Structure 1
């Protein structure tokens, strides 16, 4: 496989950044295809820790070209700040990405006070709204200063907001001019890379259960993190994708509001949160903790066409005296095996659990799958069998070297 998607199969925070970093050693190009600086991907290597919000997680690899795709919304302040440590990195930005302007964050905060969705207040939703309403500004607008000023002031006026677009542009003008040679047509760039047979990773933000179409609407993000969203958000044919690696946390977490059927409300949730440092990279908010939910995972696998999975934070399972897995939901006395489309129905489901044997071993230093405890392997294989996918990787800690390769997905073939 040479063109692989990496997508979170839960509500985000599954470890996509780490797995992108792990696979980046063979990648030529890594494309972030949606979202903005509401993402939070942590990459740990040796003594370094990088918390990335807008750059692809492979940016720390000098040989990789990192691309911010057309489906993204970009906050220039975050982008220019985040790229500073990577002076020698090859970073390109789509001329069709939309711009998050300061007043988008103001609009986001106002709307959050009314809706209580649990957004990051980064201006993501309002920027995508402007895009859908055909009034937003693209990165291409930056190529002409006067044009940008006119368009940005006009957009602010539509929102009945006073905005000094000239001051904003001139504040970032030096960085904007330096960026100009790297503002590209991403679809054309990817097409040429495919013809050269280059290795390409497509990195998603958030997770499938936060997808605007397939997630727990309306408690979702404003874009499509699922694999099915890649072709339209990058500008490529769907059949050019050769594989999809779904990232599955060994338990469930969720940040913000919205139904969470398997949520744990006792001290176990606190213990897991502290051991696994389950706090949002972007907001610092404590993540809600739950048992693994196979109903939502099967939904995520189906809508994304997942071929392989990586199971992360398996080491944290040792905090559980027993492993509970949700296999079905009960709603109004009926057993169901699908995610209800209406939020009121989803909020009323009762999870049906199966209990598996746990393990108390410290597995954080294990480097081969064969040396994992039997209970750990049984759990991993139980998940893979339930989802009808192949296991590619198992993560037993936050560092790059704490990743067990079961199958090298670059060398895998699609049946």
Structure 2
């Protein structure tokens, strides 16, 4: 199997970085197909923690070349900082990273507009990362955006820069009653900051197609999660791109007929950052306990994540949308100390006015999320550390039963289980569940 897609199957922060790091060791290309610096993929190896926002997680696999696809949005200043951090850590990136020329660029005014919109929204805020994703996506759809390829032509870049900054300043002054951004110094700063990126601009889609046509192994890396998808997610509390397998074709420039295997990454419980519905959310002490045990604070913003029990209906919907070959279950070790572990098997739909009953719902429905009441069953905890386990049989029996029950409920096999933050703390559950692992 020459390709594999890795997708977050909840609301992001599932541990995709670690899973991609594990699976990319035999990849020739690792390709980010959507998202931007709002992502935060964390990999821990040999006592060192690396947080990647825009660079594909495969950059930590020396044999892999990386592509930032046309479906991504790129902040050139933050990317330069990220690359400098990798260099200090001894990670070679020169000649190993290509930025598709069709990817749109985030400028400083996008970040400022994003933050002002959130501040002014008050109780109606979405809970964005403030990284400028919404405003740059607005420019993209409005067909006025600045793309990476514009960095190869200084005159074209400056013309678009002046036009877009003027439009942004109008919004700042007229809509937000804020001070405008001075043009001359900002243009000089941005042009200087984008020089390292210009050397990486190329045709990422052609590179990926050539690799697939020649049978080379390509791993597609998603950001955020299925239920933050612009179309399928809990709108308006979503991101601005297609986060599932559906985003690969347009976010890279390949035919969907190439795609053969997909892994959905899920936590052994559920978390969410920002606003929006969350049926299994735990309030008070229970939520605080899970947050502390799991270290649930955002890699990008540092915000505390909302925490809750595993939601089978949520993941079951992700499996339906993406036809996952298998799942990678992360943070099972976070549950090690619990005596009992509730998990939601489905939902009761609260009746609307005039209805006598609402019925039972098996799949998460974003359009009726506010009416979903989770139905729980309780599993016995294992109360034994699992971080030392290196095989499926070494896991406590109760932990294995928990994993098997999740498989039954979401109707998808679990291929990998992560039981710690280090890159080596990951177990292959069943040999051959993924052709990618079998053929690597």
TM (normalized to structure 2)?
0.90
**Distance between the aligned counterparts of 1:107 and 1:183, measured in 2?**
27
**Distance between the aligned counterparts of 2:437 and 2:77, measured in 1?**
39
Q: SS of 1:83's equivalent?
A: helix
Shift of 1:23: 1.0
**Distance between the aligned counterparts of 1:169 and 1:183, measured in 2?**
20
Of 222, 234, 241 in structure 2, the residue corresponding to residue 223 of structure 1 is 241
Q: 1:166 to 1:141 in 2, by over 3 A?
A: farther
Aligned alpha-carbon RMSD (Å): 1.7
Of 90, 93, 99 in structure 2, the residue corresponding to residue 93 of structure 1 is 99
Q: 1:225 to 1:403 in 2, by over 3 A?
A: same
Aligned to 2:79: 79
Of 217, 221, 240 in structure 1, the residue corresponding to residue 258 of structure 2 is 240
**Distance between the aligned counterparts of 1:215 and 1:15, measured in 2?**
19
Counterpart check, 1:196 vs 2:196: no
Shift of 1:386: 2.1
**Distance between the aligned counterparts of 2:186 and 2:29, measured in 1?**
31
**Distance between the aligned counterparts of 2:187 and 2:210, measured in 1?**
32
Of 279, 304, 312 in structure 2, the residue corresponding to residue 294 of structure 1 is 312
**Distance between the aligned counterparts of 1:287 and 1:395, measured in 2?**
20
**Distance between the aligned counterparts of 2:193 and 2:208, measured in 1?**
25
Size of the aligned set, in residue pairs, is: 411
**Distance between the aligned counterparts of 1:412 and 1:19, measured in 2?**
16
Deviations 1:138-164 (A, max 9, x none): 111111112111101111222315555
Q: 1:93 to 1:379 in 2, by over 3 A?
A: same
Counterpart check, 1:130 vs 2:139: yes
Deviations 1:289-312 (A, max 9, x none): 101111111111111121111100
Unaligned runs of 5+ in 2: 173-179, 352-356
Deviations 1:346-372 (A, max 9, x none): 123211111112110101100000111
Aligned to 1:323: 341
Q: SS of 2:317's equivalent?
A: helix
Q: SS of 1:42's equivalent?
A: strand
Contact 1:60–1:86 (CA under 8 A) maintained in structure 2: no
Unaligned runs of 5+ in 1: none
**Distance between the aligned counterparts of 1:274 and 1:262, measured in 2?**
17
Deviations 1:162-202 (A, max 9, x none): 55565445335456444334211111111111122111111
**Distance between the aligned counterparts of 1:63 and 1:247, measured in 2?**
23
**Distance between the aligned counterparts of 1:330 and 1:152, measured in 2?**
52
**1:301-380 counterparts in 2 under 5 A?**
301-331=319-349, 332=351, 333=357, 334-342=359-367, 345-380=368-403
Contact 1:38–1:53 (CA under 8 A) maintained in structure 2: yes
Of 172, 179, 201 in structure 2, the residue corresponding to residue 183 of structure 1 is 201
**Distance between the aligned counterparts of 1:2 and 1:63, measured in 2?**
15
Contact 1:70–1:234 (CA under 8 A) maintained in structure 2: yes
Q: 1:370 to 1:267 in 2, by over 3 A?
A: same
Q: 1:166 to 1:231 in 2, by over 3 A?
A: farther
Shift of 1:329: 1.2
Contact 2:313–2:410 (CA under 8 A) maintained in structure 1: no
